[in-house]
Amino acid sequence: MNEVLKFITDLLNLKIVRSIIASVISVIIYSVIARILNDKNHKSKLFSSGRGKTYIKMIKSIIRYIMIGITILIILRIYGINVGSMLAGVGIVGIIIGFAIQDLLKDIIKGFDILSDQYFQVGDVIKYQEIEAKVIAIGLKCTKVKDVRSYNVISISNRNIDQVEVVSEMINIDVPLPYELRLKDAEKIINNILDSINNIKGIKKSEYRGVSEFAQSSINYNIKVYCQTDQKVQIRRDCLTEVLNILENNKISIPYQQIDIHTK
């Protein structure tokens, strides 16, 4: 028994073993905190809303970095490095490092701006360059989004927040109808389209907004459709399909540009 205790004591005195134990304890502590934050039984509306989820993601990111920093300091202390002296000398080195990590600092500052100014939150659909994507996580350095078309996960540096637009839940659809169709009959067709569109799953509402354009070969009638922003791509396809079905059922061909050539 004494030999076993001696073996365990000697094992614990090994620096590598103590470092591993410190790392494991750090991981366990973070996992417990993350599980508490991810608890789906939160009754508070603050944590169940998109804004609350954004705060939780950011808090987890901050805690992760804090735990990593504490673990590194503990391991350095285990190996006999004077952490106090090292931190005292950080001032000069910090200036040098500061120039090297300017972009990182910008990302972190912008990360806090996203929360304080509510640029967007987890669950929102944003447009970055030519990509429309759903926000799935907001961290200290970057925001992770999922492309609504390809479902690819993309990371956007927080410093590029000024290039991001929050996508609205409205879809704009122009229905082209021939000039020969009287306004009364055209609006009857539009109402049939609205009735059909409102039966599509995921649509909140749709409305007719009047004539939008006198085009070269058609009169365009405008319809606004409202739905969840992350479903806009598929719902737009479904709406256009219903438009085509209604026009075909009423034996109305979609106008297209034609060129008339007259000869003598």
Judge: domain 170-249, CATH 1.20.1250.20: no
Lowest mean pLDDT: which of 79-88, 193-202, 217-226? Answer: 79-88
Q: Tokens 């002296």: give the residue.
A: 85
Asked, colleague to colleague, whether 110-166 and 170-249 share their fold, the answer is no
Listed by start position, the domains of the chain span 2-88, 110-166, 170-249
**pTM for the whole thing?**
0.56
Give the Cα separation of 195 and 127 in Å (integer): 30
Provide the percentage of residues in the chain whose pLDDT is more than 70.
Answer: 77
What is the rounded distance in angstroms from the CA atom of residue 75 to the CA atom of residue 25?
Answer: 12
Question: Under a CB-based contact definition with an 8 Å cutoff, are residues 227 and 235 in contact?
Answer: yes
Mean pLDDT value across the chain? 79
The stretch 225-235 carries a mean pLDDT of 88
- pLDDT tens for each residue of 104-136: 777 777 777 777 677 788 888 888 888 889 888
Query: CA geometry: angle at 236 spanning 244 and 247, to 5°?
Result: 10
pLDDT at 32: 85
Q: Band of the pLDDT at 178, cuts 50, 70, 90?
A: very high
Q: Is the pLDDT of residue 221 over 90?
A: yes
CATH 3.40.50.720 fits 110-166, yes or no: no
Alpha-carbon separation of residue 89 from 92, 100, 176 (angstroms) = 6, 18, 71
Q: Provide DSSP, 5-60.
A: HHHHHHHHHSHHHHHHHHHHHHHHHHHHHHHHHT-TT---HHHHSHHHHHHHHHHH
Q: Does the pLDDT value for residue 57 go beyond 60?
A: yes
Considering only CA atoms, which of 247, 255, 233, 260 is closest in space to residue 193?
247
